[in-house]
Amino acid sequence: MVELVDTSRMSPEQALSALESAHREERLAQAKGALALLRLVKTYRHPFKGDKSRLGGEGTPEVDDFVCLEAAAVLRWSPPAVSQRAADLLDLECRHPRLWEQVVAGGVPVWQACKIASACRRLSKAKALWVDATVAPFTARLGSCRLLRFVEGLVVQADPVAADAAAGVRVG
């Protein structure tokens, strides 16, 4: 249950402190939800044996095809939105362990980490781990836009041939 705080009599310093606390609690709540969705995705087994799919990049486990439908009903999201989030979370855990640790600790917002994971999806697991190790020291020091541009550059550096092909540049 959320406890609402009366801010009408707070000083600016108290309001700033309350804002900071609420922001931290929000990040931790989002991390808690991400952990729960990841656990569901990894352990869910539909009563009727169904197919499995790999939602994330190389090195992530296959998951039951029905799990995103079940989670979509609970979250009131579309199944494709749940599939995207599940793919990002699987990538974070398996391919970006340093970034994932920062998410779980509440230091990096889930949405930001998911954008990084998504940007690296086509990379091999080894190259994704390299991006993770390279970007991890900067997540708390760079603003969101700058961090995401840095990641885009790292993705190009990790696989320049694929980046040229994606940009429509003729190679060779």
Q: List, for residues 112-147, the tens digit of each pLDDT value.
A: 999 999 999 999 999 999 999 999 999 989 999 999
**SS3 call for 64:** strand
pLDDT given at position 87: 98
Q: In this predicted structure, what is the pLDDT of residue 46?
A: 84
What is the spatial distance between Cα 21 and Cα 31, in angstroms, rounded to a whole number? Answer: 15
Polymer length of the chain: 172
Q: What's the pLDDT at 73?
A: 96
pLDDT of residue 1 exceeding 70: no
Residues 6+ apart with CB under 8 A from 140: 102, 107, 108
- Where are the domains positioned within the chain? 20-167
According to the model, what pLDDT value does residue 137 have? Answer: 95
Token pair recorded at residue 92: 């974070």
Query: Is the predicted pLDDT of residue 169 greater than 90, yes or no?
Result: no
Rg (CA), the chain: 19
Provide the phi-psi class of 81: left if phi over 0, else alpha when psi is between -120 and 50, else beta. Answer: alpha
pLDDT digits over 36-83, tens only? 999 999 999 888 877 899 999 999 999 998 999 999 999 999 999 999
Q: What is the pTM of this model?
A: 0.88
The distance in angstroms from the start CA to the end CA of the chain is 61
